[in-house]
Amino acid sequence: MKLSVIYDSRTGNTEAAAEAIAEGMREVEGTEVRTFHMKEVDTAFVRESTGVVFGTPTYVAGPTADFYSWFEKDSKELGLAGKLGGAFATGQYIHGGEDIAINTILIHLMVKGMMTYSGGAACGKPVIHLGPVAISPDKEGFRDLFRIYGKRFAEQAAKIRV
Ligand SMILES: Cc1cc2nc3c(=O)[nH]c(=O)nc-3n(C[C@H](O)[C@H](O)[C@H](O)COP(=O)(O)O)c2cc1C
């Protein structure tokens, strides 16, 4: 099973979170994972992926304008409909709008016809509501949260793999 993680990142925090998610995904046997900055996506690999997770820095309490623009214009070739989708965000402040950024992405994914996954409270601790969030000054402290989310996402994707 292939899984992709696609992110925007200017100063590296969201990229580091994407790598931690990928590390967790690789804990599920038989999973091939690649991470891509949104400007360097391997379209063929994403098209073959069972699931795709998207990440953004929080800018003005939402996804970055670059992410919005990329999603509108450049995600059309990725064949997202029917795949499992998830979202994550990094931000500088608690209540800085990270949940809004994630929610916005999840809505985009639903419009594309993806099935969305958060892990949710059903998985127990760490409880992940809409998707994992890192407050960037302490990104190392959040690493495990992202790794666990990645593992949960891959376990779920394995269940729907055709
Ligand atoms: C233009 C701009 C707007 C930002 N707006 C917010 C915000 O509304 N809320 C917040 O918590 N952090 C905000 N930040 C901080 C970034 O979300 C945070 O540093 C993030 O981890 C950067 O991710 P990156 O290192 O992957 O680029 C903003 C940063 C910039 C440059």
Q: How far is the CA of 91 from the centre of ligand 1 (A)?
A: 5
- Measured from the CA of 14, which atom of ligand 1 is nearest? 26
Evaluate the CA torsion angle 107, 113, 119, 121 in order and state its sign. Answer: positive
Q: Are 132 and 153 in contact (CB under 8 A)?
A: no
More confident residue, 139 or 102: 102
With a CB cutoff of 8 Å and minimum separation 6, the contacts of 75 are: 112
Query: How does residue 95 score in pLDDT terms, banded at 50, 70 and 90?
Result: very high
Q: Is there an atom of ligand 1 within 6 Å of 97 CB?
A: yes
As a whole number, the mean pLDDT across the chain is: 96
Q: What is the pLDDT of residue 35?
A: 98
pLDDT at 123 over 70: yes
Angle at the Cα of 63 from the Cα atoms of 62 and 65, rounded to 5 degrees? 110
Report how far residue 115's alpha carbon sits from residue 18's, in angstroms, rounded to the nearest whole number: 20
pTM of this structure: 0.97
Pocket lining: 63 vs ligand 1, CB cutoff 6 Å: no
Which CATH number goes with the domain that contains 62? Answer: 3.40.50.360
Does the beta carbon of 4 sit less than 6 angstroms from any atom of ligand 1? Answer: no
Q: Is 123 in the pocket of ligand 1 (CB under 6 A)?
A: no
**pLDDT of 159 above 90:** yes
Q: What is the mean pLDDT of residues 108-114?
A: 97
- In the reported structure, the alpha carbon of residue 1 is separated from the centroid of ligand 1 by a whole-number distance in angstroms of 33
Of the candidates 147, 68, 70, 153, which has an alpha carbon nearest to the alpha carbon of residue 118? 153
Kindly tell me if the per-residue pLDDT of 162 is higher than 80: no
Domain range enclosing 8:
2-160
Q: How do 84-91 and 51-57 pair as beta strands? A: parallel
Q: Read off the pLDDT of residues 22-68 as tens digits, 9 standing for 90 and up.
A: 999 999 999 999 999 999 999 999 999 999 999 999 999 999 999 99
* 59 within ligand 1 shell (Cβ under 6 A): yes
Question: Rounded to 5 degrees, what angle do the CA atoms 47, 3, 95 make?
Answer: 110
Q: Residue 138: what pLDDT?
A: 84
pLDDT at 121 (0 to 100): 84
Per-residue pLDDT of 124-151, as tens digits, reads 999 999 999 999 988 789 999 999 999 9
User: How deeply is 141 buried, as exposed, middle or buried, from its count of CB atoms within 10 A (0-12, 13-18, 19+)?
Assistant: exposed
Window from 18-22, 55-59, 99-103, 123-127 with minimum mean pLDDT? 123-127
User: How many domains, in total, are found in the chain?
Assistant: 1
Q: Residue 78's closest CA among 116, 51, 102?
A: 51
Q: For 119, phi and psi rounded to 5 degrees? A: 90, -60
